[in-house]
Each structure stands twice: as structure tokens, then as C-alpha cells.
A and B are shown apart, each in its own frame.
Chain A
């Protein structure tokens, strides 16, 4: 009795799946592909919203996310920081997750805000992690001065001129939310848009875009999801970053998933409808 091709397609050993996936991921690292990108509407909205902020506007950054998924949104955060530092606006970030402020600090050290002519405490501030999840968002929105006394670096906040300008949601022109949760936009909308009519921009993982699209473009005029979002902003803003290289890797890393999904289904349908009984 011979085994049908369809049955074989259903039973590819796990090792082959792993080896093929790794090969696909290695190809763009050895041979960068540099494929052209089509800028999506949420990225365009993200960029335009930042560009259209009036001079002196204050942006609040709810800095969440974690290091485990940093590869997904490092390019987005880096490109966003560069765009914001190049504009005549002010911003502050606070830690929505424990990793948030550390991540923000690392990105800032890499891009060096001084080179953009920005001064810490006058143009931007980094606050520490504030525990409480959605409750922390509500606290920052209702009474910013009450949530922290020192910045992330342990310095007294009262010495910074920007701190005097941050009393609550009424002072903020926009909120940028960074998260690794697909329910992020639900709670951010509840605390910022519903209560204070403040629009949001989101930076999140690629898999969360279907949930976040609920809020585009009325509540959230733009969003960057996954490496693709970051790479698009790099292209749109003219600030190159790590996105292009990661984008190539993602290109081929997702390929095995698609290939095996299709192969598995060909095998399933083939063994169901096209296989003779003696071949089973």
C-alpha cells in the first residue's frame, strides 16, 4: 500500500518546519532585499497629525510595551521620537508598564535629543513607571502633578519648567500610546477621548491592528503597528532607522507560516476528496 502525496503533505516532520522557517529568516540577513513600501493610511495619518500640531503643543506619551516584543515596535518608537524632536512641540513620557521608561531612555540615548536642539526639562520629560494600569492613565489625565514627584532619573520634577505646564488632560494636545496589548485602545479611549476629547495615536504590535482599526480615524487619526508601521514612518519622515532591516526579516519570516498553512490545507482536502482508498 503506497502513501498518497496528500497524506505526506499532512505529515511533514516538525524538524523540517523548523529548519525551513530558520532558513527563510536568515535569507534577508545575508542578502538584504530592500523592497519598496506602500505607505498605509494609518501611518500617513500618524505623521500628518504630528506635523499639524500647533507650535508649543504638549504631547503625552503613555509609554507601555515590553522588551520581549521590542523588535516589533522599536523602529516605530525611534522614528516617532525623531519626528517629535524635529518639531516645535513639547512632550513628556510616563511609564505605563515597568519596561516603558527604560525603553524610552534607551531610545533617547541612541538618538541624542541634544542634536535636535532640544533641552531636557524644557522641551521633554521622562517620568517613571506609574503602577495601576488603566487607573494610572486616569490619574495622569486628571491630575498629572499628583502622580510623580521625581522624574525617571530620580531628579525633583519641580526644577523643570515643563513640569509647571503639565497639570492635566486640558494641557495636552494629543496622546501617543505605546502598548503590547490588543485591548489597549479600548481603555485609552475610555480615559482620554471619552472624558477629555483628546485624540490618540497608537504604537502597537502588528497583530493588534485589527482591534485598533475600530478607532481609526475618528478617535485615533493614525497608528503604527509592527515593524511595517515603523518602517513606513522612517520612509515618510526621512529619518532612517532599524525598520528597513527588520522589515526584510519579517518579509520572509512570515512566508513559512503562509506556505505551511496552504500546504496543510492542500493535504487535508487532497486526502479527503482526491485520495483513493488503497492509497490511504
Chain B
């Protein structure tokens, strides 16, 4: 199949679906709403299959790392860890009729998966502390606004802040609900305008970003 065909068919599909969803939103026709609901449910079914597809790709990648590709010892060990943990979760999940609600599965979730995830999150937190110290220096009015706002809001997040400085809570809440909302709504409007442009480009068949990745250079 030529690249042109591989591009054109999905492009027309996206265009058609966009026009259909637009009509459904503005015209209150029961039959169209029914079809739209059906298409949306198809979407969730396709997404479910994509999970299986993703798992197959992951398996293929790590199998290639172990058996075919000429990679280092470290990469091979990581692939072995993947296979062991993937298969362990799978086997434990299917070992009882309760599946993921079973005691065994929830035990590994609670005692292995959760601590591992929490450790990664804690590591991110450590990098926040390190980054705040090393990099976050106030070099301009803009960074001063961010820095001062962050310090005030963090003190508000800590129960200890408002206890010792009672005025902090109303001031930080005002910053969050007024200054912050004004700024983020500007960002949201910009995203909305961008989405509108993307939608218009999709409608006229100019938007190919979702169809193919172009390798630069």
C-alpha cells in the first residue's frame, strides 16, 4: 500500500468522524445520537484491544533485547526483570477466580507495586528539593512572581503555616482563586483556540499530525 493511500484513508476517516460528531452536537436528532453513542463505545473496545497490542509490542521488544539484538548486559538484565515481573503479575492474577480482587493479587499490589511506585514518587520529590536549591534562583521579575507565589502557597498547604501566620490562609487562597485563576484561564483559552485551529485543519484534511511521525534531519 502506498504512503499516499495510507495517509488518505485515515485522513478521510478522521474528517468524516469529526463532521459527524459536530452535527450530533448541534442537531438534536435521536438516530444520530444513537450512532454517536455506538461509535464512542467502539472507541473503548478498540482501546481495550490496543492494551493487548501494547503488551505484545512490549513482549516483542524485550524478547528481541534478550535473544536477537546485540545489547549490553545491563539491558538484558532489565529485560529479564520485565519478563519476571510481567509473568508474576499475570500468573498471580489468573491463579484465583477472583482475579484482581483476590487476596494474592492485591497483596502484591499493596506490598510490591505500591512501595515501588511510592519510591519513584519520593525520588521525584527529592529532585524537586534539589532543583529548588540548585536551579530556582530569582533572576527576573517573572521568576520572582513564581518563587514568592510558590513559597506562599506551599506554606498554605502545610497546616503549620496558617497556625503560626493566620493571615497566610486567606492571602494564599486569594492568590489561588484570583491571580492563579486569571493566569491559568488565559492558558486554557489559548489551548481552546489552538484546538479550534487543529479542528478546522482536520475538517479540511490538512491536519496529518495524528497520522504519521516525520523524522527530522
A residues within 8 Å of B by Cβ? Answer: 12, 14, 17-18, 21, 33, 35-38, 40-41, 66-71, 101-102, 105-106, 130-133, 135-136, 138-139, 142-143, 146-147, 152-154, 186, 206, 209-211, 213-214, 216, 226, 228, 231, 247, 250-258, 260-265, 268-269
Contact = CB atoms under 8 A, between A and B. Distances in A.
Interface string B27-56: 000000100111011011011101100000
B121 interface: yes
Contact of A265 (B99, B147, B155, B169): B147
A250 B155 CA distance: 11
Contacts of A40: 169, 173
The A contact surface, by secondary structure, is: helix
Given A40-B173, A147-B44, A254-B158, A67 B109 contact: yes
A131 B130 contact: no
Contact of A139 (B44, B180, B184): B44
A253 B129 CA distance: 10
Contacts of B157: 206, 226, 228, 250, 254
Given A37-B159, A40-B173, A66-B117, A133 B106 contact: no
A108 to B, nearest CB: 10
A167 to B, nearest CB: 11
Contact of A41 (B50, B129, B160, B173): B173
A153 B96 CA distance: 12
B185 interface: yes
5 contacts: A36-B159, A67-B114, A106-B110, A147-B41, A214-B181
Contacts of A269: 138
Contacts of B151: 258, 261-262
A105 B107 CA distance: 13
Contacts of A257: 128-129, 132, 154
Nearest to B185: A214
Pick the most buried of A68, A69, A147: most chain B CB atoms within 10 A of its CB.
A68
Nearest to A25: B122
A261 B40 contact: no
B118 A70 contact: yes
A211 B158 contact: no
B184 A261 contact: no
Contacts of B109: 67, 102, 106
Given A213-B176, A252-B160, A256-B129, 14 more contacts: A17-B133, A67-B118, A70-B118, A132-B46, A132-B48, A136-B44, A143-B38, A214-B185, A253-B125, A257-B154, A260-B132, A261-B133, A261-B151, A268-B138
